[in-house]
Chain A
């Protein structure tokens, strides 16, 4: 079974803090994704990566950056957290852009 893990299930940070969310997959997938999920809006793509050190902006990249130094690990960085970044963050990996396997999610609260 594909396993996608995220570093934290719940996280509380203060405004202005730098926040790191980590995602690890164990199936050697080339493609990895970061989404945020907000009530009434569904999942929205922040960034995705199709190879090590390669990244592409999604629909809402503002205020976020990503890092992919190793194939299995994809990190989402909030350079200076703001209250409007309070959300559920979901990581996914995929071998082919068709079937995506999701992690358990990180519920981030910025106060």
Chain B
């Protein structure tokens, strides 16, 4: 069983819709990362958080340490948001990755 579970695995939305991607983990962590991977493979870091909420543009990430759960929200989604979104958790020097959520936003 993966220590990091993401849902949904695949998500298709219409442009403008509000998107939520969820991440649950089973271990105590020091930080949680949300990563974005565009077609072609390159990965960029969107957020690193250990408590509360962070916002960057149309992206919002929240974490509930007690419930071991994080969400990534995208407001007013756009086709350029189409990518794979990956949740990763850090405990000590170890990092564990979710399998990713493939988001497709249609115009």
Contact = CB atoms under 8 A, between A and B. Distances in A.
B44 interface: yes
Interface stretch (B14-22, B53-61, B62-70, B89-97): B89-97
A97 interface: yes
- Tell me the dominant secondary structure on chain B's binding face: strand
A43 B90 CA distance: 13
Contact of B97 (A9, A43, A99): A43
A9 B9 CA distance: 25
B86 interface: yes
B99 A40 contact: yes
Interface residues of B, number: 22
B4 interface: yes
Given A42-B86, A43-B86, A98-B48, A90 B95 contact: no
Contacts of B86: 42-43
A102 B44 contact: yes
A15 B12 CA distance: 38
B58 to A, nearest CB: 22
B54 to A, nearest CB: 14
A65 interface: no
Interface residues of A, number: 21
A102 B98 contact: no
A104 B41 contact: yes
Contacts of B4: 42
A99 B90 CA distance: 10
Most chain B beta-carbon contacts within 10 A, residue among A44, A98, A105:
A98
Contacts of A43: 86, 88, 97
B43 A90 contact: yes
Closest 4 CB pairs of A and B: A105-B41, A102-B43, A42-B97, A43-B97
